[in-house]
Amino acid sequence: MTVTVALFVAVASLEALRKSDNAPVYYGLLSFTALGMLLLSFTQDLLMLFVSWELMSLPTYVLAGFDKKRVQSNEASVKYAILGAMSSAILLYAISLTYGLTGTTQIIPAVRAIAAQPLSLATSIAILLFVAGFGFKMSIVPFHMWIPDAYEGAPTTVSTLLAAATKKAGFVAAIRVLLAATTVYVITQNPIFTMANILAVLALLTMTLGNAAALTQRSMTRLLAYSSIAQAGYILVGFVAYAYGQQTNAFSQQTNAYFTEATIGMTGALFHILNHAIMKGAAFLVAALVLLELKRGDVEAYSGLGRRMPVAAFTMTVAFLALAGVPPLNGFWSKLLLFLSVINGPFAWLAVAGIVNSAFSLGYYAWVIKRIYIDESESNEKVKEPIPFIVVFGVSVGLMIGLGLFPQQVINFASSAVPNIFPR
């Protein structure tokens, strides 16, 4: 799906870069990012994972500052590059510690070796460094500080790439390495500081802070950025269910109720990663078109958009309703699976928090939708909607509605992938 989002960004950028002399450079950087994401999805070695991570990340530092004449774009690029380099250094240090402790950089043998080791300070530090390194790309609180400024300063098509593609690639890498390693190793002997508890607290903080901050934003890209942070919190709920399943040895007793719930949780996480790429990609590309045609990025610019740009307005509405989890759109089913995975165990409070946060998020989504269709704009003159954008919007809306009406095939596919996550 990450490569599909990169293709959507490339198509939508045709109009934005129509008069630019730097279009070949832009598409070259975009291609390297897509290649890095693709390699990241298939790699089985920690060093190759790091190389793929850098191949994906380095071009995006340049793309974030691609609009060289804007101070905000330059600032976004510098901040993103500095924090990105720091996260890469943390990740590389974690990989070096893992090699020193296990004697291998192959992911599956390394995880098995970690699982067999007794409690040690070095291994615990390596695990926590993986949490910090991957937490940056997944925009988990407190590693989220770069997201709003980078998304607002970067060209909006690039923000689409960051939110809907590279962030999802980060989750893929985290599932493959971070989740497998952290859930088989006890970081401390204290029963309070289990990995499931740590992930649950991070999920609660991430979804709550993201939604609370989004409610106060007046810039559409910043609103979408904080909304993206909140969605990362929902995905972490599936991580909590999986971690608790490992903690209770559910995977060695496949008749255990927690085994079923852990499977449901990871299925929901994988499904929501796919859904979020579609929903957030569509919303950001609408913001990109509005900025391109109306030269405004504030929320007030969306007043009366339903009359001026009907296709973009309808796409934004569907995307926002899907992000809020309104049935029968695709976001509803993945959130349902995530919350069901923890509703019957000790983390039922996290399901309640997720439901409350989803209802809360509908407030600022509905606020924008009200502006689009009810509020009056300064001008009712129709605005051109370029064909490349219309094509991408049509495909995105079709996927959001189609996956909402017929989710079973994707759910079955995600569920079949769960047993392969953890090397038993």
Residue 325: CB partners within 8 Å, gap ≥ 6? 331, 332, 335, 336, 358
Torsional sign, CA 115, 197, 336, 144: negative
Q: 183 or 309: whose pLDDT is higher?
A: 309
Please, what is the average pLDDT of the chain? 83
User: Where along the chain do its domains lie?
Assistant: 2-420
Residue 74: per-residue pLDDT: 84
Cα→Cα distances 316→204, 240, 286, 313, Å:
26, 31, 6, 5
Express as a percent the part of the chain with pLDDT over 70: 91
Q: Is the pLDDT of residue 18 over 80?
A: no
Residue 184: per-residue pLDDT: 54
Backbone angles phi, psi at 388, to 5 degrees: -55, -40
Are residues 321 and 370 in contact, defined by beta-carbon separation less than 8 angstroms? no
Angle separating helix axes 257-294 and 310-324, nearest 10 degrees? 160
Q: Is the pLDDT of residue 87 over 80?
A: yes
Q: Is the pLDDT of residue 288 over 80?
A: yes
Residue 417: per-residue pLDDT: 76
Residue 420: per-residue pLDDT: 67
| 202-242: pLDDT as tens digits | 999 999 999 999 988 888 888 998 998 999 999 999 888 88
Q: Is the pLDDT of residue 423 over 80?
A: no
pLDDT band of residue 338 (cuts 50, 70, 90) is very high
> Does 327 sit behind a cis peptide bond, omega within 30 degrees of 0 on the bond before it?
no
Residue 258: per-residue pLDDT: 58
| 41-52: pLDDT as tens digits | 788 888 888 898
State the Cα–Cα distance between residues 308 and 384, nearest whole angstrom. 9
pTM of the entire predicted model: 0.89
Q: Is the pLDDT of residue 179 over 80?
A: no
Residue 395: per-residue pLDDT: 92
Q: Which of 180, 178, 198 is nearest to 188 (CA)?
A: 198
Residue 353: per-residue pLDDT: 93
Are residues 228 and 147 in contact, defined by beta-carbon separation less than 8 angstroms? yes
Torsional sign, CA 175, 177, 180, 181: negative
Instruction: Show the tokens assigned to 343.
Output: 């509703």
Cα→Cα distances 286→159, 165, 281, 368, Å:
12, 16, 9, 13
HEC per residue, 344-380: CCCCHHHHHHHHHHHHHHHHHHHHHHHHHHCCCCCCC
Residue 149: per-residue pLDDT: 81
